[in-house]
Structure 1
Amino acid sequence: MYYPYFRGKQFELLTIREMAPLLADKKFVPIVEPVRETLNGLKKALSAVCDAGGQTIVIVNPHHGDHQEDGSNITALLQEGFIGNNSVAAGILLRSDMTPDDVMTCYRQHANHHPVLVHAGFTAPKALAAELKDSMSSLTNVFIEDHAKLLYRKHFENSKRILVRDGFNRQRNADYQTIEEFSDLHATYNILGMAGFGDFLIVGDGFSEGGGPAYAVAIHLTFIDPDKDDDMYIYHFVSDTNDTPTDPAGKFAQALEKLIAKLNSGTSHLLETDAIKEFRHLHNKGHFPGLGYIKKLSMKHHIETLARYLS
C-alpha cells in the first residue's frame, strides 16, 4: 500500500530499523537506495524488517552515492545474507541510460530475489513491456511520477503498479513558508489505478552527499486535513536566526518553540504521534539531539501519520 522511498543514509536506515514493527504491521514496504559504501547499516535495517515480518525493496543499481558505478556489493549482500528470503526484493532502477536489454540482464541476474522495476527516467517502456509480457501479471512496477506519466504507465497496466510522488518542495531552510501542500496521493492512488503509493518523506528526491553548516534550522512535519478532502500538508517550523552558521542548538530551540506553540493552539491538525511526544520531551528538557535526529523524528511522524490514516 505505502512505499516510502529512502536513500540509505544513517538516519534513514535508523528510521527503518526503529519503525520496522509498524511498517510490517501496516504492510508498508520501504524502498531503499543504498548510497553509502559501507553496508552494515543497510544489513541491520533489512534484518529488522525481516525479523518484524515485513517486506522491503533494495535498489541494486543505485543512481546516487558510492555504489552508482558498481552495485555488485549490494547484490552480494542480498545473495549472502538474504537468499531465499521473501521479505527482501531486488529493486532495479530504470534510468535514461539503460536499454531494454540492460534491464532484462539485471532482471535475470536477480531472478531469485523477486525483482521489482523502479521506473526513473527510462525511455523505452513499450519495448520493455513486450519483453516482460509473460511475467507481467506477477510483476511489481514502481513509477517515480516525474519520470513516468500516464501514457508511460499504461504499458504496464497488467502488473501491480505503485506510484511515487515527491511532495517535498526542497528549498533553503530560511526560505520555507510556514505551510504548503504536500500530496493527495494517499487519498487518490486507487482512483489513478494504482495498487499503492509512495513518497520521499520529508527529504525529497533531490540527493546531496551531506549538509553544510545550517544557517537556519527547520522542523518539517506533515498532517492530513479532514476539512480539505484529506489532503496532506506540511509545516515548516523555521528558526528566526539565519544569518550565521553558528549555534544550531539555539536555532533548533527557536524552531521547536514554534512547533510547540502550534501544537498547543489546538488548530494544528498534527497527530500526537510518538515522534511528536518526543519533540515535546526535547522541549521540556531543552535538549538538542542533532540535526540528523530531528530529521529522523520528522520521518517517523510522517510514517505514523499515514499509518493512522490508512488503518
Structure 2
Amino acid sequence: MAYFPYIRGRQYDLLALKDLAPHFSTPAIPNNPITIIEPVKTKLDDLEKIIMAYAKNPKNPQIILLTNPMVGDMPTLLDIATLANKYPSTVIPAFTPGNSKHTGTALDFLTHITSDDVAIIHDNDRANAHSDNLAIRSAKNVLYEIEVGKLGPAYIGTFTAPRILIEDAFGNHPNNSSYPPDEMFTASHIPPLPIGYSYFGDYTIMRRDYKEGGGKANAVALHVSHTTPSEIRMKHFVSSPALIGSPAAVMYDDALNQLIAFSASPLALNTLGMQNFVASKPKFPGLAKAKQFGMMHHIALRSQ
C-alpha cells in the first residue's frame, strides 16, 4: 500500500528526503512513498534540489507539491507553480481549496499550472472551499483527494479520485520529558481499512501544528517508530530526569544510548535513519539532525 508522508519544507525535512531519494525502490526502501511537500520557505532552491534528487531515481518517485501553503513564510503560488512546471514527470501540483491564509487563488492555480493532472488537499468545507474545489475539478484531472481536515458528506460527495487520509498521529505531549517510553501511533493501514479511504499518510514524527524552532529543551527525546502485527507504535527515548538543565549534547548521548540498545532488538528495523542515529554516537550532530534521522527511519519503515 502506498504511503503518503506529509512534509513541511524545513531544512531538516528536506535533508531527510534528499538522503532517502536514491534508495526508493531498493532493498532498503522497497516501495516508493508519494511525498506531499508543503513549502514553508520563500526561497525554493533547496526544495528544487530535493525534486531533482527524486527525478534522478529511475523508479520515478512522485512528489505532490502544495502551491498555496497553509503555514510558514508563504512563498507565492506563481513561484511554486513555476518550479512544479519544470518537473512534470516528478511533481504533481496540488491546491488547498478555501485556504484564506495564502493569497494564491484557484484561478491562479488554473492559470499557472500547466499539468492536467493535479491533487487537491482538503482542509475544510466552507463555502469558498466548495467553489474552489468545483472549479479545479471542472478543469483538471484530479489524481488524489488528500484529507487533512474535517469534511462534511456533501463536500466528500464531489470526490472523484482515491481518498487519502493524513493522520495527525504523533503523540501530543507538553514537553520532551513527558513522552512515555512507547505509545500507539496508528493501525489505520491494517485491513479492514476505514471505509472510503484508499491510502494513508501522516506527518512522520511531527504533529500537524507547525512550529519553527523552539525554546531550550528540558530533555532530549529521540523518536523511533516500530511495527507490531496489529499497529505501528512509537518509541520515545528520553534523557534521564537527572540530566535536566545539562548541555544538549549530554542529554542527547543519554537518550542515544537507550536507542542504540533498542537497535539490537528484533523490533528495530535497520533503516538508514537508524544507522545514522547509531553512527552519531562519537559526536553530537545537533537536535535538528536527530529529527532528520527520526523522519528518515519512519518514512523507510512505512514504505516497506
Normalised by the size of structure 1, how large is the TM-score? 0.83
State the distance in 1 between where 2:78 and 2:138 align: 28
Match of 1:301 in 2: 297
Contact 1:141–1:159, Cα closer than 8 Å, also in 2: yes
2:185/2:234 contact within 8 Å kept: yes
Q: Does 1:42 align with 2:47?
A: yes
Note the 1:105-254 alignment, pairs <5 A: 105-113=107-115, 114-124=117-127, 131=135, 138-144=142-148, 147-149=149-151, 151=153, 154-171=156-173, 172-188=175-191, 190-226=193-229, 229=230, 231-241=231-241, 243-244=244-245, 246-254=246-254
Q: Secondary structure at the match of 1:287?
A: coil
% identity of equivalent residues:
27
Return the offset for 1:56. 0.3
What is the root-mean-square deviation in Å for CA atoms of aligned residues?
Answer: 2.6
Unaligned runs of 5+ residues in structure 2 are none
Mark the runs of 5 or more structure 1 residues left unpaired by the alignment: none
Q: Deviations over 1:209-260 (max 9, x none)?
A: 212222211100111112xx2x11101111114632x411100011111222
Structure 1 residues 232-311: aligned runs within 5 Å: 232-241=232-241, 243-244=244-245, 246-264=246-264, 266=265, 269-283=267-281, 286-308=282-304
Shift in alpha-carbon separation, 1:135–1:187, aligned structure 2, 3 A = farther
Instruction: Point out 4+ residue stretches in structure 1 off by more than 6 angstroms.
Output: none
- The Cα shift of 1:274 comes to 2.5
AA at the equivalent of 1:165: E
Does the aligned pair in 1 maintain the 2:97–2:122 contact within 8 Å? yes
Question: Residue 14 in 1 paired to residue 15 in 2?
Answer: yes
Q: What's the offset of the Cα at 1:107?
A: 4.1
Check 1:170–1:297 CA distance in 2 against 1; reply closer, same or farther (3 A cut).
same
State the one-letter code of the partner of 2:82.
A
Q: CA deviation at 1:130?
A: 5.2
Q: Please give the alpha-carbon distance, in whole angstroms, between the structure 1 residues aligned to 2:289 and 2:269.
A: 19
**Amino acid of the residue matched to residue 108 of structure 1?**
L
Distance in 2 separating the partners of 1:216 and 1:272: 25
1:159, CA displacement in angstroms? 1.5
1:4, CA displacement in angstroms?
Answer: 0.5
Secondary structure, counterpart of 2:96 in structure 1:
strand
The worse-fitting range, judged by mean Cα deviation, of 181-190 and 47-56 is 181-190
* Cα displacement (A) at 1:66: 1.1
Q: Is residue 91 of structure 2 the alignment partner of residue 88 of structure 1?
A: yes
Aligned-pair CA distance for 1:95: 4.0
1:62-112 deviations in whole A, cap 9, x for unaligned?
A: 1111116x4332223334x33xx22112111234539xxx86424412442
- Deviation, 1:14, is 0.9
Whole-angstrom CA distance in 2 between matches of 1:155 and 1:132 = 15
Counterpart mapping for 1:20-35 below 5 A? 20-23=21-24, 26-35=31-40
3-state SS in 1 of match to 2:280: helix
d(CA) in 1 for partners of 2:23 and 2:155?
A: 30
TM-score (norm 2): 0.85
Bigger fraction of residues in helix: 1
Q: Count residues with an aligned counterpart.
A: 291
155-164 or 39-48, which moves further after superposition? Answer: 155-164
Instruction: Assess if the C-alpha contact under 8 Å between 1:165 and 1:185 holds in 2.
Output: no
Kindly provide the amino acid, as one letter, of the partner of residue 143 in structure 1.
E
1:64 aligns with 2:67: no
Distance 1:248 1:157, change over 3 A: same
Q: CA deviation at 1:199?
A: 0.4
Evaluate the alpha carbon distance shift between residue 274 and residue 209 of structure 1 in structure 2; reply closer, same or farther with a 3 A threshold: closer
Task: Give the aligned residue type for 2:120.
Answer: L
Q: CA deviation digits over 1:159-192, x for unaligned, max 9?
A: 1221111111232111111111111122258443
Q: What CA distance in whole angstroms lies between the structure 2 residues aligned with 1:49 and 1:30?
A: 10
